[in-house]
Amino acid sequence: MNNELTLDIGIGGMTCASCVARVERALKKVPGVSAVAVNLATESARVQLIAAETVPAADPAPTLNMEARLRRAVRDAGYEPRAANTLTDAPDASLWAGFAPIAWGLALSAPLVLPMLGDLLGMHWMLPALWQFLLATPVQFVLGARFYKAGWHALLNLSGNMDLLVAIGTTAGWALSVWLWLTAEPGAMVHLYFEGSALVVTLVLLGKWLEAGAKRQTTSAIRALHALRPEVAHLIGLDGEVDVPADEVLVGDTLAVKPGERFAADGVLLEGTTQVDESMLTGESMPVAKEVDSLLTAGSINGDGRILMRVRAVGVDTMLSHIIRLVEDAQAAKAPIQRLVDQVSAVFVPVVLGIALLTLLGWWFTGHSFEQALINAVAVLVIACPCALGLATPAAIMAGTGVAAKYGILIKDAEALELAHKVDTVVFDKTGTLTVGKPKLLEMEATAGHVRAEVLQLAASLQSGSEHPLARAVLAAGKTDGTIFLATTGVSAVPGRGMQGLVDGRELLLGSLRWMDELQVELGSLADSARQWQAQGSTVSALAERVTEDAMPRVLLLALMAFGDEPKPEARRALDALRARGLRLLMLSGDNQGAAEAMARRLGLKPETGEVMAEVLPGDKAAQILRLKQGGGRVLMVGDGVNDAPALAAADVGMAMANPDGGGTDVAMHAAGMTLMRGDPMLVAAALDISARTVRKIRQNLFWAFAYNVAGIPLAALGFLNPVFAGAAMAMSSVSVMANALLLKRWRP
């Protein structure tokens, strides 16, 4: 029995990559935890629990109490446990929310900074030392209290973080100023550094405020999806139509949906016709026509008709909830490239403290004043804060997965996002992925003495009650031609062969050529057409009539029909776009070689160069993928059904393509790292593009995060940066990383 469980916990108070590492270490020490991924950008942790049997037996309810244990571990590590998804579920805050502490900091720091500007103009506006002390101290110990609290918890846990660096650095500057003030000769004007400490605290607070605003933008995709859930549904009950909370809707209920309203649950259209805006689900801007028995999705918008629907899924089981879960999973996960950041951040703060100490001692022992030595050491501590390092990867992943979801590309995990742009081989399942996936009546040829309209009417009438895919193709052709169905009686299926029955008093048979051969039906002049259609990969059926001539029963051919799948309209263009990216293309098909090659040529593929793998049984698809991987290829598999799931899981990256009827899509989605929410092959190239752009942003962010530290620490240690400029540079490093990630929101397929 699989007792694995995943828990999400919100965490308040994290400020940098070192905080992430500390929370992960604390959570991993809890018995029963197998894996932890802490995300600085979403301020949350995803905890994977091992089988319940491994949790200490002394606990009578290990699973029920596990969340409490995890929350206690977070608190003991010095952080605040919160409800999960507080960042993504929160409504859009005011633009200036949380700015009050920064405003106070700026107001108190301004009188301290103005004398510095006056010196540049030859003016001496220096405030008395007491006034400087009174202005700087509230900034240091009231507005900066958060740094002391978090830094103290870090020390208790024998680790370090950004807050510890800020607290030590600014306190050193403040304390130096107090010492210089108290030890100065009476009446002497000494240079104090209160303005530096106060301004660094204010600038760091400003940077965190700007960063929080950027975080809200990166989670806007999730909040937008949550907002699609309507609050009220119109339930049709024994007392007529009653408004009930959407959370109280049950499977099997009948709901009325008015024009312009969102669907409260997944369901099936019972009565009426309408156009539905499904852009939230598929990214497709054009409304989709819906008739009786069409599937309806929670969150999509009803068009111009009042309709009735039967509920088939509610709450967490709806497609909307599934989409939200997939996006949240991707944003909570860590990309493989993040492991490097984790390794660096684990030792970063202790190394910086060591460099700051060496800077202090180096300047002091080389004959400089202790005052100068301490100021340079403070600059090292302030510039080195690893905020940007912790945000570089998750910020880009959140922005990339969010904008992809907006256009119908769901990215299940960060690893798939990182690997997708590296693939060199793309394998498509044929049916439903490159082709429409529904048989269509391509050709119909009647024997002499009969006309197409007559035989189509007979064939459609005979199959009017059948759900067979070929029967539906005949019925669709009949509707297109405006066929009027005739009365039928005694219709029955002949297993493995076809069907028979009376239509308008005529005994008709419709089925395979093999059945016709068994009945000794002569194809006559239509034999050449049958061979030609079969060579092109079409399925050929025959319509015949049982008659009695000269007291002898005979079966006479009335018409032959050719059924086949059609390429999707955009499939060829999609394959050309992938080929232009330098990718190797392959098509997997269970059809015979001739039929598969005929379809491949219609799609623009080249069978002669090995771009077609025909006669592949469903169970052998995964083996073909593994063979390609063993040949050195990085393989992307695109499929849409249950039988594609093993191949999707075997590929380096699996990409599931949604079916209009939903058949098999759920299974394929679970096996794949990415899901295309509409059956448009052009989205494959779009998914590879957003993957490449997101990984590029991750690398850019990591470069800038490291560059700030690699360039800033030596400059500060050598005395070229004072603490104020160091604080401004540190704050801007976080803001620039978030702003760079947010550029992904401008992406369009």
8 closest CA partner among 98, 78, 89:
89
> CA–CA separation, 191 vs 195, rounded Å?
11
Residue-wise over 452-482: b if at least 16 C-beta within 10 A, else e? eeebbbbbbbbbbebeeebbbbbbebbeeee
Pure H helices in 366-462: 370-383, 387-406, 414-420, 452-462
Count of Cβ atoms closer than 10 Å to residue 576 Cβ: 13
C-alpha distances (whole Å) from 87 to each of 9, 12, 39, 147, 334 are 12, 10, 12, 22, 18
Which residue is it, tokens 């997708």? Answer: 420
Which parts of 448-583 are beta strand (E)?
A: 488-494, 498-503, 506-512, 539-549, 552-564
Per DSSP, the residues of 165-205 read: HHHHHHHHHHHHHHHHHHHSPTT------HHHHHHHHHHHH
CA atoms of 269 and 295, how far apart (whole Å)? 7
From CA 111, how far away is CA 109, in angstroms rounded?
6
Helix axes 338-365, 162-183, angle to 10 degrees: 20
Say which DSSP state 465 is in. Answer: T
Q: Does residue 119 carry a catalytic annotation?
A: no
Sheet containing strand 33-39, strands side by side: 33-39, 44-49, 5-12, 80-82
Q: Are 38 and 20 in contact (CB under 8 A)?
A: yes
Q: What is the rounded CA–CA span in Å between residue 343 and residue 444?
A: 68
Maximum separation of any 2 CA atoms in the chain, in Å? 138
Which entry of 429, 591, 640, 689 is annotated as an active-site residue? 429
Question: In what helix (H) or strand (E) does residue 233 lie, and over which residues does it extend?
Answer: strand 232-237
Measured CA to CA, the distance from residue 232 to residue 264 in angstroms comes to: 7
Burial 116-143 (b: 16+ CB within 10 A, else e): eeeeeeeeeebbebeebbebbbebbeeb
Q: Please, what's the b/e burial string for 699-732 (b: 16 or more CB within 10 A of its CB; e: otherwise)?
A: ebbbebbbebbeebbebbbeeebbbbbbbbbbbb
Does residue 544 sit in helix, strand or coil?
Answer: strand
Asked if residues 216 and 87 have their Cβ atoms less than 8 Å apart, the reply is yes
Distance of CA 264 to the CA centre of its chain: 23
Please list the active-site residues: 429
